[in-house]
Amino acid sequence: MRVDRVQSVRFERPLRVSASEGVPELSVVIPVHNEAGNIGALLAEVCSALRGVVRFEVICVDDASPDNTLEELRRSAADMPELRVLPLARQSGQSTAIRVGVKSARGRWIATLDGDGQNDPADLPRLLSARDAAGDDVRLIAGWRTKRRDRWDKRVASRIANAVRQSLLHDATPDTGCGIKLFEREAFLDLPYFDHMHRYLPALMQRAGWRTISVPVNHRARGAGASHYTNIGRALVGLSDLWGVAWLVRRSHVAKLLPSEGELQTKEDGDVIELDRSSA
């Protein structure tokens, strides 16, 4: 049985509903919480990186920030026709904010960035190029921070966490914690949803039968504010989620129809897809 651990999300009135003319090919989703000192410059960089490259929209989901983040987004929206802002009425967490943005997105492909400015928007065209060069079965291009700009203790904790995760999930992804990613909207929304699921997208995509690749990206020091995570807090939550994802991966099975079988109906029994041959 698929259980979606989703909070009831209530929106304040969106600040802007228009975007650039035509349906965008790419939707950039940025979850933000207390990033008043970073978000304005980050949005300017996104526009600089993508204008003239791809038709895009930007969706910022403000996770009930108590600082001036919403006011900064309001100022940016006045000069950025591609921007839509979705303010959440109460804090719901990063995974929920991302999912809200993806569900609101109009593009087939979604790019995500952290709102703290440590991800470099100049890497977005690189991810698009990697997607174009990959096979049709690739649904996730994950950023890989080869040169981290974090404190030493955070880097060490990340290395340990990545090693433990890879030993259990075998997802062949060196850096699942990197916020800059490119994935197909429909494939993402088909994944089982739970809090903190954004950290396990490669394994979840592979479980669904898709291929994932990693691309080296730039990583920058935080410009303003402080991280919203602690090493201990992330580890405690991560262990519980990791065992849950490992359980999902172990019991998954992707069924593929043979061309000679014709059109067969499928039905979902829990997380296992079975073929129903009753109508064949």
Mean pLDDT by 10 residues, the chain (280 residues): 41 45 92 96 97 98 97 96 97 95 98 96 98 95 84 70 72 89 98 89 93 95 66 59 76 68 46 40
CB 77 within 8 A of CB 111: no
Can you give the pLDDT at residue 168?
Answer: 75
d(CA 207, CA 249): 6
pLDDT tens column, 168-187: 777 888 888 899 999 999 99
Whole-prediction pTM value?
0.77
pLDDT tens column, 208-250: 999 999 999 999 987 776 665 555 555 555 666 777 777 777 7
Which class does domain 26-254 fall in?
alpha beta
Can you give the pLDDT at residue 275?
Answer: 39
Compute CA distances 5 → 2, 29, 77, 89, 241, whole Å: 10, 21, 32, 18, 12
Can you give the pLDDT at residue 214?
Answer: 96
Residue ranges of alpha helices (H) inside the chain are 39-50, 69-79, 94-104, 124-133, 152-169, 185-189, 201-207, 231-250
Domain coordinates of the chain in residue numbers? 26-254
CB 28 within 8 A of CB 183: no
